[in-house]
Homo-oligomer: A and B are copies of this chain.
């Protein structure tokens, strides 16, 4: 998606430790107009897949998933929770996820009431790196008996293993920008 790549080139910052900082438009301050274009692009790629539910994970996936849902007939969006709260009662699907950003392991939780065999699910998230969060969400979709239509990712770090593993599992994975390599001096190089 050219508009997105231009934006990453212009406003993204490559930081030490393989961090691509895009917090001015994607995951701290959010550019709602860009999110609309991202939503349209996900629709273009997953049109006709019969998607009736969108699954994401807190926090930075939520805004993108909600705006994108408007291009899938206002499909309900479910966000997986990282911090179990006393507001989640009843039975839940859980999966363990290791966070690169936060440096810890946490449980990802979705209430069983909101995902089941009647659902055809598109997973949406902002980043794919080592794939742990996405694999946790895929686990949950499979446990629920729902059908997984695919996963839509805004930025994939193509030099980490997540994309290869997920595609190897036979999951349809659509990343709108794949970073082939990046460095503090040379900036970002995209695949393709």
Q: Are B101 and A69 in contact (CB under 8 A)?
A: no
Q: Which residues of B sit under 8 angstroms from A110, Cβ to Cβ?
A: 28
Q: A25-43: contact bitstring with B at CB < 8 Å (1 yes, 0 no)?
A: 0011111110110000000
Q: Measured between alpha carbons, how far is A108 from B81 in the docked complex, in Å?
A: 18
> Given B21, B67, B88, B103, which contacts A23 in the complex, CB threshold below 8 Å?
B88
Q: Are B81 and A28 in contact (CB under 8 A)?
A: yes
Asked whether A32 lies within 8 Å of B70 as measured between CB atoms, the reply is yes
Residues in B whose Cβ lies below 8 Å from that of A78: 28-30
Q: Which residues of B contact A88 (CB under 8 A)?
A: 23, 28
Stretch at the interface among A55-63, A149-157, A167-175: A55-63
Q: Is the CB of A89 within 8 A of B24?
A: no
* Known contacts A30-B78, A31-B74, then 8 further A-B pairs from the complex at CB < 8 Å, ordered by chain A residue: A19-B86, A21-B89, A24-B113, A28-B110, A32-B74, A63-B65, A63-B79, A86-B103
